C-alpha cells in the first residue's frame, strides 16, 4: 500500500514524502482512512509503530477547513508526559508545514502567561498533559465546546500514572458529538471501560508490537551478588567505558537514584546528565537536545523517558535496576536498536531485583544471557562529547576514571535473547511507583 491510497490531501502527502516515508505502517494504513471518514478509532498500538502520524496526518487535513476562535481549541490531544506532548507537536510542525494550523502546547513547567496568550490567539490543535489542561480549564482560560476531535494517546500509561479520573473529566467536558481517537498499547479492564463508555462504535485497529525493534537489540544481564550501591556504580562505569558505546540511556527506577548516578558518573569523568520529572521543563528539554546532538553521552533517566521518546541513534540502553514492571523493560530497551540499527541493552541486577527479574524473564520466555565485559574492550574515559556538533556548552571538566579492576575476559554469548512479539499485555493496574511523572 502507498500513502496515496489513504485519502490524504496533496499538501500532506508532499510533507510525508519529504519526511522520507514511502509506505504507511500498519497502524497508519488502518487508522488514517477511518479518521478521514470521521469515525471514532480505537488504536491498539505502542510507540514505534508510527501511531503518531496515524492521527496527526488526517487531523491536519480535517482541520485545514475552518478557523479557530479565541480560547476554543478545535482539537485536543492528551499525552501522559511533557516529552511526548512536545514530540507530537514536532510531528504537527513536520507534517503540517504546507498548512496553516495554529498549535499550542499546554504542559507543566511552561509559564501560564505564554500559554494563555497562545490560547487567546485561537488554536486548531491543542496538545496537553491532563494536569495542566485541567488547571487552565478551571481558571476559565479554555472553553471545550469547540472541540471536534479528541485524541487520547498512551491511555494505559495514563492509567499507570493515575490520570484516568482526569481523562474521564476531559471526556465529559468535550462535546458529545466530537470524534475520538484513542490509543493504548494494552487494554486492561479499566481502559476497556473508558472505551465502552466514551467512544461511539469505534473502528478497532490493532497492530503487533514492533518486533523488529526488539530483534535488533542484543540483551545482556549483569548479575551482582551484592546490593552495595558503590559496587553497582563501579560496574556501571565499566559498562559505560566499553568500546562500541557511542551513547547510552541509563534507566533508574527512582528519581533520587537518577540524580545520584548522574552526579557520580560526572565526577568520574563520564559525560552524563540527568532527566526526570522533578527537573523543570526547560532543563529537561535542553538536556534532551544535548543528548540528541551528542553533547551529552549518557542520559540518566527515570521511566518518564522510557516511553515514546524517539531518538534514532542510541547505541546502548543500560538498566541500573530491573524495572518494577516487566513491560517497562520492553519500553526501555526499545530506546535503542531503532530504525533498523543495532543496539545493546545491559541490565544490572542485584539480589533486591530478584522478583522483578523473574517477571522480566517470564515475560521474555527465556533468561537474558549473562554479560561479561571483556577488558580488552575498555576504552579510556573522556569528557569529550561523542559527536560535538554544537559549542553551546563545554562539558564539565572532571577527573578521569581510574582503570577498573580486570574482570575475567569471557566472550559474549552468540545468541542474545530478543523479546517476544506479544508480551503479557497485563498492563500496570495497581501499584503506581513514585517515579512516574505527574504533571
Ligand atoms: P511513533 O510510533 O509515532 O513514535 O513513530 C516511530 C517512528 O517511526 C518515528 O521516528 C517516525 O518518524 C517513524 N515513522 C512514522 N511513520 C513512518 C513510516 N510510514 N515509515 C517509516 N517511518 C515512519
HEC profile of the chain: CCHHHHCCCHHHHHHHHHHCCCCCCHHHHHHHHHHHCCCCEEEECCCCCCHHHHHHHHHHHHHCCCCCECCECCEEEECCCHHHHHHHHHHHHHHCCCCCCCEEEECCCCCHHHHHHHHHHCCCEEEECHHHHHHHHHCCCCCCCCCCEEEECCHHHHHHCCCHHHHHHHHHHCCCCCEEEEEECCCCHHHHHHHHHHCCCCEEEECCCCHHHHHCEEEEEEECCCCCHHHHHHHHHHHHCECCCCCEEEECCCHHHHHHHHHHHHHCCCCEEEECCCCCHHHHHHHHHHHHHCCCCEEEECHHHCCCCCCCCCCEEEECCCCCCHHHHHHHHCCCCHHHCCEEEEEEECHHHHHHHHHHHHHHCCCCCECCCCHHHECCCCCCCCCCCCCCCCCCCCCCCCCCCCCCCCCCCCCCECCCCCCCCCCCCCCCCCCCCCC
Distance 395 CA to ligand 1 centre (A): 32
pLDDT band at 339 (very low <50, low <70, confident <90, very high): low
Assess whether the region 3-206 and the region 217-383+412-436 belong to the same CATH fold: yes
Q: What's the CATH architecture for 217-383+412-436? A: 3-Layer(aba) Sandwich (3.40)
Distance 48 CA to ligand 1 centre (A): 6
Distance 100 CA to ligand 1 centre (A): 23
Q: What average pLDDT does the segment 25-32 reach?
A: 95
Closest residue CA from atom 18 of ligand 1:
21
Distance 125 CA to ligand 1 centre (A): 20
pLDDT at res. 161: 86
- Look at 7-11, 61-65, 290-294, 305-309 and tell me which has the smallest mean pLDDT: 305-309
pLDDT at res. 170: 98
Q: Is the CB of 21 under 6 A from ligand 1?
A: yes
Burial class (CB in 10 A: 0-12, 13-18, 19+), 283: middle
pLDDT at res. 307: 65
Q: Is the CB of 52 under 6 A from ligand 1?
A: yes
Q: What is the tens place of the pLDDT at every residue in 87-127? A: 999 999 999 999 999 999 999 877 888 888 889 999 999 99
Distance 248 CA to ligand 1 centre (A): 21
pLDDT at res. 98: 95
pLDDT at res. 80: 94
Q: Is the CB of 212 under 6 A from ligand 1?
A: no
Distance CA 70, CA 156 (A): 32
Mutate which of 4, 50, 86, 212 for ligand 1 pocket (most atoms within 8 A of beta carbon): 50
- CATH assignment of 3-206, among 3.40.50.150, 3.10.129.10, 3.40.50.300, 3.30.70.2740: 3.40.50.300
pLDDT at res. 373: 63
Q: What is the tens place of the pLDDT at every residue in 406-433? A: 333 333 333 344 333 332 222 222 222 2
pTM, 2 dp: 0.63
Task: Domain ranges for the chain, please list them.
Answer: 3-206, 217-383+412-436
Distance 82 CA to ligand 1 centre (A): 19
Closest residue CA from atom 12 of ligand 1:
50
Q: What average pLDDT does the segment 124-152 reach?
A: 95
Q: Is the CB of 25 under 6 A from ligand 1?
A: yes
pLDDT band at 315 (very low <50, low <70, confident <90, very high): very high
Amino acid at each position: 500500500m502507498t500513502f496515496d491510497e489513504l485519502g490524504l490531501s496533496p499538501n500532506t502527502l508532499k510533507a510525508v514524502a519529504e519526511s522520507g516515508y514511502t509506505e504507511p505502517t500498519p497502524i497508519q494504513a488502518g487508522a488514517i482512512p477511518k479518521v478521514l471518514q470521521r469515525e471514532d478509532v480505537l488504536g491498539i498500538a505502542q510507540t514505534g509503530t508510527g501511531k503518531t502520524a496515524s492521527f496527526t496526518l488526517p487531523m491536519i487535513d480535517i482541520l485545514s477547513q475552518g478557523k479557530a476562535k479565541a480560547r476554543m481549541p478545535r482539537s485536543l490531544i492528551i499525552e501522559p508526559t511533557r516529552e511526548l506532548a512536545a514530540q507530537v507537536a514536532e510531528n504537527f510542525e513536520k507534517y503540517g508545514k504546507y498548512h496553516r494550523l495554529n498549535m499550542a502546547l499546554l504542559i507543566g513547567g511552561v509559564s501560564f502567561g505564554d500559554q494563555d496568550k497562545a490560547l487567546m490567539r485561537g488554536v486548531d490543535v491543542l496538545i496537553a498533559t491532563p494536569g495542566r489542561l485541567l488547571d487552565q480549564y478551571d481558571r476559565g482560560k479554555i472553553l471545550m465546546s469547540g472541540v471536534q476531535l479528541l485524541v487520547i494517546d498512551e491511555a494505559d500509561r495514563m492509567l499507570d500514572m493515575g490520570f484516568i479520573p482526569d481523562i474521564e473529566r476531559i471526556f465529559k467536558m468535550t462535546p458529545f458529538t466530537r470524534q475520538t481517537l484513542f490509543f493504548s498499547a494494552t487494554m486492561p479492564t479499566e481502559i476497556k471501560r473508558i472505551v465502552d463508555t466514551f467512544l461511539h462504535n469505534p473502528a478497532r485497529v490493532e497492530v503487533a508490537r514492533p518486533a523488529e525493534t526488539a530483534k535488533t537489540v542484543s540483551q545482556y544481564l549483569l548479575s551482582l551478588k551484592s546490593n552495595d550501591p558503590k559496587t553497582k556504580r563501579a560496574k556501571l562505569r565499566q559498562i559505560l567505558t566499553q568500546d562500541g558505546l557511542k551513547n547510552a540511556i541509563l534507566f533508574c527506577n527512582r528519581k533520587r537514584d537518577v540524580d545520584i548516578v548522574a552526579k557520580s558518573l560526572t565526577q568520574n569523568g563520564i559525560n552524563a546528565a540527568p532527566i526526570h520529572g522533578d527537573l523543570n521543563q526547560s532543563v529537561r528539554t535542553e538536556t534532551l537536545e544535548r543528548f540528541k546532538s551528542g553533547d551529552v553521552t549518557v542520559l540518566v533517566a527515570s521511566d518518564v523517558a522510557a516511553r515514546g521518546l524517539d531518538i534514532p541513534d542510541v547505541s546502548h540502553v543500560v538498566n541500573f535496576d530491573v524495572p518494577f514492571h516487566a513491560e517497562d523493560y520492553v519500553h526501555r530497551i526499545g530506546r535503542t536498536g531503532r530504525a533498523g540499527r543495532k543496539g545493546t541493552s545491559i541490565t544490572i541486577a542485584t539480589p533486591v531485583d530478584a522478583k522483578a527479574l523473574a517477571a522480566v524473564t517470564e515475560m521474555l520466555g527465556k533468561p537474558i544471557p549473562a554479560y561479561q565485559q571483556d577488558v580488552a574492550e575498555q576504552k579510556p574515559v573522556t569528557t569529550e562529547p561523542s559527536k560535538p556538533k554544537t559549542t553551546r556548552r563545554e562539558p564539565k571538566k572532571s577527573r578521569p576514571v581510574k582503570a577498573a579492576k580486570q574482570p575475567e575476559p569471557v566472550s559474549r554469548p552468540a545468541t542474545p535473547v530478543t523479546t517476544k512479539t506479544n508480551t503479557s499485555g497485563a498492563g500496570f493496574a495497581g501499584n503506581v511507583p513514585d517515579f512516574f511523572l505527574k504533571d
